[in-house]
Structure 1
Amino acid sequence: MSKNEIYSIGVDIGTSTTEIIISKLKVKNTLSSSLIKETTIEDKEIIYKSPIVFTPFIDEFTIDFQKVKEFVIEALLKSKIEKSHISTGAVIITGETARKENAKEVTDNLSEYLGDFVVATAGPKLESLLAGYGSGAYEMSKKLNRRIVNLDIGGGTTNISIFNCGECEQTFALDIGGRLIKFDYEGRVIYLSKRIEFLLKDLGIDFRKKVNLNVLEILCKRLSESLLEVCSLKELSKDTEKLFISEGFTPFKADYISFSGGVGEYMGEKNVDLFKHNNIGVLLGKCIFEEFEPYRNRIIFPKEKIRATVIGAGNHSLTVSGSTIVFDKSILPLKNIPIIKPFNNKENLKDIYLLGKKKLDMYESTLVAISLVGPKSPSYEEIKLMGNEIIKLFENVEGPIIVVLENDFAKALGQVISLNLNKKREVICLDKISTRNGDYLDIGLPLANAIPVVIKTLIYN
């Protein structure tokens, strides 16, 4: 067993704010019971937390990359950690910011500047999942064996994840946030999100004049009621349906309700200036707290609120696939492939498509990999069943079919998949690799008969 210490950086570029965290991770390499090399994070110490600053924009549609980069450089100087000493990290862009025209360019350029890191432009479903992990809702659900719904209320969106005994059941998002309306120091509205114009019309609100507290309270109360509705505590209204960014949701009953995000910071706070940030964030937090008052016994407070999305980035775990594998050299190398694992525990091969589709829907990526343990000594019928389920899962996914197995039968499965395809398509099937949901995968060029693989793990608080 070997122990190492590595430095990690996390950059979260959100709708309202941007922040940076630098951590020192203790990494331990061990052999599992199945003799698969595993890299785990034994301990984490936060070295530096940046101030939380407003995300810089050049205009309404463009992120100011140069200012974001300067903020990162300043963080490195203040942390006294040289860029060359940081060996892992994540650049995450979330909320309304992920919809900006140059969002991908910003994450790609910043990641290139920092190093070989995970780059994820988080759409509403993935952001909901990240916030659920980062807030601590996932851990609490697992520890308490209960269903917890986490509402991460940011500047532009509310991202909701539901965890049942540690398993994420569903994610969805709505256009509800603290910066949907902004005003100047004289009370004039200087920004109004087009996404809530229909709601203002329905409520008979006109913001062409100065901001009126009573009118703002009517709006924030209505948005708060929408959150009650999506928590299945009130009947879902037509107006709330229009606020969904993603496709609706399946009604559920939660044991506990958790709130994170910048607006979550102000829930229950007293004697706070309601116009502190020249937007509706503080008032919205106050109204949500009041609307959820009848359900106070269900509310739990997470470890993290405004810093929920990402605390640090995990470890690069270089491993080598087994030699009995299938791959198409022409499409290698591939980088930053999200990994989905349909099963957390016991695998039922008949449910690969059914459960895999639920996990697949959380990603807006056109390139994904499915990860399975698989039987130790599978029969031909089992391999054929797995192959057909995987082909069905990848029908609406562009790019190659990528399969990662823990057990050693990648070549047989890859050949079955290739033979049963209706049209020619690249297939990569690797084995002797252990992964988790939330991991990202890099696949390098072949070395002799094996493939070098980097598993990248996002680390949440």
Structure 2
Amino acid sequence: MLQSEIYSIGVDIGTSTTEVIISRLKIKNILSSSLIKETVIEGKEIIYKSPVIVTPLLDEVTIDFNGIKDIVSRALKESNIDKNQISTGAVIITGETARKENAEEVSKNLSEYLGDFVVATAGPKLESLLAGYGSGASEMSKNLSRRVVNLDIGGGTTNVSVFNCGECEQTFALDTGGRLIKFNDEGEIIYLSKRIEFLVKKMGLNLKLGRRAELHELEIICKKLSKCLLEVCCLEELSEDTKRLFISEGFELFEVDYIGFSGGVGEYVREVNKNISLEEIRKHNDIGPLLGNHISREFEDYKNIILSPKERIRATVIGAGNHSLNISGSTIAFEKSILPLKNIPIIKPFEKEENLNEIYIKASPKLDLYNESMVAISLKGPKSPSYEDIKLIGREIIKFFEKVIGPIIVILENDFAKALGQVISLNLREKREVICIDKISTKNGDYIDIGLPIGEAIPVVIKTLIYNS
């Protein structure tokens, strides 16, 4: 019988702060329009939110894993949820923390501590997407039938997601955040990010380690970073300085209808206080409050299109706990004995138009990009495939996987996974595990985690893994 409720955890280990949420997800079987039984997530309820806690570090380049584990253990204890009850979720390492020397190790160890299907992820594209979900930007875009841009501004980075009518069009990230400059209680600079050193030098600012930070110089750098955000919202022409701040590639110009701000610095993007003092800035011993103040000023002329987010500082962790999971089922084929699987690279033979006769030809060269023993192949597939179509796809996939060690893993966007899985299994020369899932959309460069079955459905997380970039 289908489990009607599962628990999900989200852990966001950010440049400045770490947060944990625990959610209850309601799973339900429904009959689709084609009268096929389908498994869906019917409801999501956050049952626990941790306090916002300063991210524990051993030094400037090392995350304190024991400190992070203590935060998570305390959250489980306070929520009265045993970690064995956690069925899914995501550990997200964001911003400059993802560049720490032990980021990958911490993420992997924490996900293993939490259970078989809590995934370890990092990378600005996924962070941007989850923040856009958690802030409510996706939902507002869908409800308004308009393009909504969400800027999630944290300690080290700004993660941007662009939603049009609820669908994510693009994501990107910049080195812009509240802890790019940090001071001690005496106002002396104790940290200056290398990511903005070129701006400091170009603008002739005397911001140096050990030197007392002058308010007027901090104002200049915050104004510049704020203007960069105007540019990435396509409200001003993109400058060469802003281009140098991009972490991820693939930015495309767009027309914006509405803008939302989330993240720790997003808490300060509100009413303009033109007389902000150095004492107010020193509240967190960084430039976060001042940067938020300047963003408010730079976007003053566009205040009529600024939306209030559902969540600000907790947007990413809520996205991780509530929106990282997909459900594939019930018309799927899978071999339970080899699940769960984690971090399987996805090969997508076609970016746009698909030619079923060329699946093997287009997919094979992409194998050279991966040294892993397992890969998954991803296709959109025809909406209503004939039996001949399914046999053709099956032959092409079998031919491709002759070069691959491990199970045959196929991801379809359209709904015919069970039929394709059966055709593949019947036409194999020797026994091999087959996993064929549908209703999942992917891109090249993505990875997939496939969890233990929930009734007749399978939980899936699509992610991008990037560390120390």
* Band of TM-score, shorter chain: 0.7 to 0.9
Are the equivalent residues in 2 in contact too, given 1:146–1:165 (CA < 8 A)?
yes
Q: Distance in 2 between matches of 1:281 and 1:370?
A: 41
Q: Say whether 1:442 aligns with 2:444.
A: no
Q: Displacement, 1:111? A: 1.4
Equivalent of 2:459 in 440, 448, 455:
455
Are the equivalent residues in 1 in contact too, given 2:38–2:330 (CA < 8 A)?
no
Q: Distance in 1 between matches of 2:328 and 2:258?
A: 39
Partner of 1:260: 262
Are the equivalent residues in 2 in contact too, given 1:317–1:454 (CA < 8 A)?
yes
Residues 28 and 153 of structure 1, relative CA distance in 2, 3 Å threshold = same
Are the equivalent residues in 2 in contact too, given 1:152–1:160 (CA < 8 A)?
yes
Partner of 2:197: 197
Q: Distance in 2 between matches of 1:432 and 1:238?
A: 44
Residues 269 and 73 of structure 1, relative CA distance in 2, 3 Å threshold = farther
Q: Displacement, 1:250? A: 1.3
Equivalent of 2:420 in 402, 410, 415:
410
Equivalent of 1:228 in 227, 230, 239:
230
Give the number of equivalent residue pairs. Answer: 430
79-88 or 144-153: which moved more? Answer: 79-88
Secondary structure at 2:234 match in 1: coil
Partner of 2:384: 376
Residues 240 and 26 of structure 1, relative CA distance in 2, 3 Å threshold = same
Q: Distance in 2 between matches of 1:124 and 1:399?
A: 30
1:191-211 deviations in whole A, cap 9, x for unaligned? 000011000000001123211
Equivalent of 1:290 in 290, 297, 301:
297
308-317 or 132-141: which moved more? Answer: 308-317
User: Which runs of no fewer than 5 residues in structure 2 stay unpaired?
Assistant: 463-469
Q: Distance in 1 between matches of 2:61 and 2:285?
A: 20
Residues 333 and 310 of structure 1, relative CA distance in 2, 3 Å threshold = closer
Q: Displacement, 1:124? A: 1.4
Partner of 1:423: none
Q: Distance in 1 between matches of 2:347 and 2:85?
A: 31
1:64-108 deviations in whole A, cap 9, x for unaligned? 000000111111222222223333322222221112221121122
Map 1:91-102 to 2 at 5 A. 91-102=91-102
Partner of 2:9: 9
Residues 391 and 109 of structure 1, relative CA distance in 2, 3 Å threshold = same
Are the equivalent residues in 2 in contact too, given 1:28–1:39 (CA < 8 A)?
yes
Are the equivalent residues in 1 in contact too, given 2:155–2:180 (CA < 8 A)?
yes
Partner of 2:466: none
Partner of 2:240: 238
270-279 or 147-156: which moved more? Answer: 270-279
Are the equivalent residues in 1 in contact too, given 2:268–2:289 (CA < 8 A)?
yes
1:183-231 deviations in whole A, cap 9, x for unaligned? 0011100000001100000000112321111110000000011111111
What is the identity, as a one-letter code, of the residue corresponding to 2:238?
A: L
Secondary structure at 1:259 match in 2: strand
Q: Say whether 1:40 aligns with 2:40.
A: yes
Secondary structure at 1:310 match in 2: helix
383-392 or 165-174: which moved more? Answer: 383-392
Q: Displacement, 1:142? A: 1.4
Are the equivalent residues in 1 in contact too, given 2:326–2:440 (CA < 8 A)?
no
1:268-321 deviations in whole A, cap 9, x for unaligned? 146772221000001000001100111111111111111111322577968687
What is the identity, as a one-letter code, of the residue corresponding to 2:13?
A: I
User: Which runs of no fewer than 5 residues in structure 1 stay unpaired?
Assistant: 419-426, 446-451
Q: Distance in 2 between matches of 1:242 and 1:398?
A: 41
Q: Displacement, 1:22? A: 1.6
Q: Distance in 2 between matches of 1:400 and 1:198?
A: 48
Residues 135 and 428 of structure 1, relative CA distance in 2, 3 Å threshold = farther
Are the equivalent residues in 2 in contact too, given 1:90–1:119 (CA < 8 A)?
yes
Secondary structure at 1:159 match in 2: strand
Partner of 1:422: none
Partner of 1:449: none
TM-score scaled by length of structure 1: 0.79
Structure of greater relative contact order (alpha carbons < 8 Å, 6+ residues apart): 2
Q: Distance in 1 between matches of 2:80 and 2:140?
A: 34
TM-score scaled by length of structure 2: 0.78
Residues 35 and 403 of structure 1, relative CA distance in 2, 3 Å threshold = farther
RMSD value, Cα: 4.3
What is the identity, as a one-letter code, of the residue corresponding to 1:19?
A: E
Q: Distance in 2 between matches of 1:205 and 1:391?
A: 61
Q: Distance in 1 between matches of 2:406 and 2:202?
A: 44
What is the identity, as a one-letter code, of the residue corresponding to 1:100?
A: K
